[in-house]
Amino acid sequence: MEKINSINKQSAKWLRWTARGIGSFGGVFWLFSLIANAIGEISAGTPPPLEGIILGVLIIILVVGVIIAWRDEKIGGTIVTFGAIALCIFAYITAGRNKHLAVLFSGAPFLVSGILFLTSWRRSKK
Instruction: For residue range 66-82, list pLDDT tens digits in order.
Output: 999 999 999 999 999 99
Residues in Cβ contact with 126 at an 8 Å cutoff, skipping those fewer than 6 apart: 5, 8
Nearest to 88 by CA among 70, 100, 76, 72: 100
| In the chain, % of residues over pLDDT 90 | 63
CA dihedral 93, 49, 38, 66 (to 10 degrees): -40
User: What pTM was estimated for this model as a whole?
Assistant: 0.87
SS3 label, residue 49: coil
Q: How far is CA 94 from CA 39, 61, 62, 88, in A?
A: 22, 19, 18, 10
Distance CA(90)–CA(101), nearest Å, equals: 13
Q: What digits encode the pLDDT tens for the residues 92-104? A: 999 888 899 999 9
CA dihedral 61, 66, 72, 74 (to 10 degrees): 70
Distance CA(41)–CA(59), nearest Å, equals: 18
Q: What digits encode the pLDDT tens for the residues 11-45? A: 888 999 999 999 999 999 999 998 888 888 878 77
